[in-house]
Structure 1
Amino acid sequence: MQQQEIKALRNIKVTLLFCLLFYAAVGATQYPQKAIEFVIPFDAGGGADIEGRLLADQMSNVLGVPVVPVNKPGAGGAVAYTYLMNAPADGYVLAWNSTSILTITNLGNVPFTYEEMDHIGRVEFQPLVFAVSINSPWETLESFATDCTTGNQTIRIANSGAGSGTHLGALSLTSAIGCEVVHLPIGTRRRNATVLSGEADGMIAPLTGVINLFKAKRLKILATLSDERNPVIPEIPTASELGFNSFFDLFRGLSVPKGTPQPIINHLAEAMMQAATSETFMSFSEEVGFTVEPMMPTSFQSLLATEDEKVKTILEAAELIMSDGN
């Protein structure tokens, strides 16, 4: 091939690349132009759903287009995250993520890792709590631990689904206590009901999913899995206070398909920040007990890497995944 032809081909490639970047930038500056789908990985009516819908409503106000919640529950979040993975990377589909984005990927419930998505940021974090029916004989976490470690009865602990953050919280707590239980992957819709009916002996759940029944004196909260007491329930001790080193807070944030243009990610992150710190969302957080502490994309990516290692450690201890050294 002649030198002149090679130079011409290079010029064509440079021109094409410039055009692609130009049109991507133009599209990003005009974003958004239509409704945005807001995928919620859990059942309607639960704490995660209520929070997500409120955030979506506040984001609609910021972005000037409808942000439409769509529930896609199932398999501890796998259904929603798989849907997101297959969506166009154009900013019109985003997912209301949680710690489940790390648990299901480490368990192998999906054929991808959290790194195969782009992440907008964290919105909030909240404690997981261990709750039992008001009719339960256990008044303290210590009394539960005594019965659990004797092995004289089968104890059933409900969670939101296999591989969910609540499942990991239950594994963390029972490992710290040194006992074995039957884990019931009930789902968020039935989790509370199974404890109230006696089908399950207790449950791990986000505080937001328990607080109303706790205030109505239908559930007892025996401990939180945070490193300090929550101001909404200051009378409830942490597990670590009682000698059980179980720490597992739940985070929630936003993710989009891999390859979403950076200007769109930045635009969504700014809208997320404004929505999360709105008076409406902040008031709700104070009422139900989660902490609004938004993180932008880079900081959230660092948090995900740290939390991913924590999840791996819990799963390896429970022998649900093999360590890298095996």
Structure 2
Amino acid sequence: MNTRIFASVALVAAMAVGIGGQARAEFPEKPVEMTILFGSTAQTIGQLLADLMSKHMPEPVVPVSRPGGGGAVGYQYVHGMPADGYNIVWNSNSISTGYHNGGIPFDFNAFQPIAKISVEVPAFAVRADSGWNSLSDMAADIKASGQKLKIGASGKGSFTHLTTEAILAAMGLSDMAVHVPYDQGRAPVELIAGRLDAALQWPGQFISHHEAGTLKILCVTSAKRISQLPDIPTCAESGADGMDIVMWRGLAAPAGTPEDVIVKLEAAAKAAAESDAFKQAAQTIGFEIDFADHAAFGELIARDDKAIADLMGQLGMKAQ
């Protein structure tokens, strides 16, 4: 009798292990939801990434737009979801700018990195008829005139606002500029209409206008020139010494998501990033593909968080 009881218990235990192992092995068993934090190029790239990842998974990756609060709305949504891999976020440096400006109540440790996908380099643009051919030209003119520079970036405390303030500080214009926030995708319109003197945004928003001769891209904020704009100098070359600020984008899941689930999502993301369709989009939209696995991505996020905290502290943008 005791032998039969022992055998029954062992059978139940074996079945439970088998069922559990099978369930984990079959991830995903339902669609994976990808929260997209921003509009404009972030949304375009994120939607394409989700579609391409779906081709390498048994269930689709569904992009869902949750903008607001400099990423806070989307981050808080995903943070509140179970750590099972079915809710992921198309994240960026915004996790650090949002936390350090007080907009998000948790830092990057609330998420488990999946993969770094791309890098976008902000571009600084002015109207073509401004008479400015470099940041140095602009700074000299503003200082001589004594007028305030109307400069546009995304909302206060955002990544582009932080980058803008860094440029102004490097050019000695911090006290001679007015920050004008605008909605996603409106930088070219605001510049052409004359409501802004200068703006910082992603290259994809400016390139067609630059080529048409209505706007002029003065520089990009990375340490090296970018492939989409090989003839445009870096901001460091244009007068902002030492400037090297770029935005990475990648995927993350709530902290505690199982390692095997992370690895499966990472593999699908890698296949998507290496596809011809994604490479073509990089050239068309204006971003650099820069894949890194979840371990390397985690190390980058930690380093970048410290650098952003230090920079925001220096510029007086860090919440106390």
Q: One fold, TM greater than 0.5?
A: yes
Q: 1:265 to 1:131 in 2, by over 3 A?
A: same
How many residue pairs align between the two structures? 307
State which of 256, 259, 264 in structure 2 corresponds to 1:259: 256
State which of 74, 91, 107 in structure 1 corresponds to 2:101: 107
> 5 Å matches for 1:197-236?
197-236=193-232
In 1, the alpha carbon distance for the partners of 2:24 and 2:213 equals 50
Shift of 1:279: 0.7
In 2, the alpha carbon distance for the partners of 1:269 and 1:137 equals 47
2:118 is paired with a residue whose SS is strand
In 2, the alpha carbon distance for the partners of 1:232 and 1:240 equals 18
In 2, the alpha carbon distance for the partners of 1:318 and 1:150 equals 24
2:89 is paired with a residue whose SS is strand
Tell me how large the CA RMSD over aligned residues is: 2.4
Q: 1:119 — aligned with what?
A: 113
Q: 1:188 to 1:322 in 2, by over 3 A?
A: closer
Letter in 1 for 2:215: L
Shift of 1:322: 6.6
State which of 150, 154, 165 in structure 2 corresponds to 1:156: 150
TM-score, normalising length: structure 1: 0.87
Moved more, 222-231 or 195-204: 195-204
In 2, the alpha carbon distance for the partners of 1:25 and 1:148 equals 66
1:241 is paired with a residue whose SS is coil
Letter in 2 for 1:221: I
1:147 is paired with a residue whose SS is helix
In 2, the alpha carbon distance for the partners of 1:98 and 1:321 equals 18
Letter in 2 for 1:220: K
2:55 is paired with a residue whose SS is helix
State which of 277, 291, 312 in structure 2 corresponds to 1:315: 312
Q: 2:5 — aligned with what?
A: none
Q: 1:39 — aligned with what?
A: 35
1:121 is paired with a residue whose SS is strand
> 5 Å matches for 1:3-14?
none
In 1, the alpha carbon distance for the partners of 2:128 and 2:114 equals 40
Q: 1:219 to 1:110 in 2, by over 3 A?
A: same
Shift of 1:184: 2.4
Q: 1:179 to 1:281 in 2, by over 3 A?
A: same
> 5 Å matches for 1:144-293?
144-150=138-144, 152-180=146-174, 181-244=177-240, 245-293=242-290
Letter in 1 for 2:115: G
Shift of 1:148: 3.9
Q: 1:79 — aligned with what?
A: 73
Shift of 1:73: 1.3
State which of 267, 291, 296 in structure 2 corresponds to 1:294: 291
Shift of 1:260: 1.2
Which ranges of structure 1 fall in alignment gaps of 5 or more residues?
1-14
Is residue 159–residue 188 contact of structure 1 (8 Å, CA) maintained in 2? no
In 2, the alpha carbon distance for the partners of 1:201 and 1:136 equals 8
Is residue 104–residue 110 contact of structure 1 (8 Å, CA) maintained in 2? yes
Shift of 1:20: 9.2
Which ranges of structure 2 fall in alignment gaps of 5 or more residues?
1-11
Letter in 2 for 1:301: G
1:242 is paired with a residue whose SS is coil
State which of 126, 140, 145 in structure 2 corresponds to 1:132: 126
Q: 1:21 to 1:234 in 2, by over 3 A?
A: farther
Shift of 1:25: 4.4
Is residue 98–residue 165 contact of structure 1 (8 Å, CA) maintained in 2? no
In 1, the alpha carbon distance for the partners of 2:96 and 2:235 equals 23
Q: 1:159 to 1:28 in 2, by over 3 A?
A: farther
Q: 1:24 to 1:320 in 2, by over 3 A?
A: farther
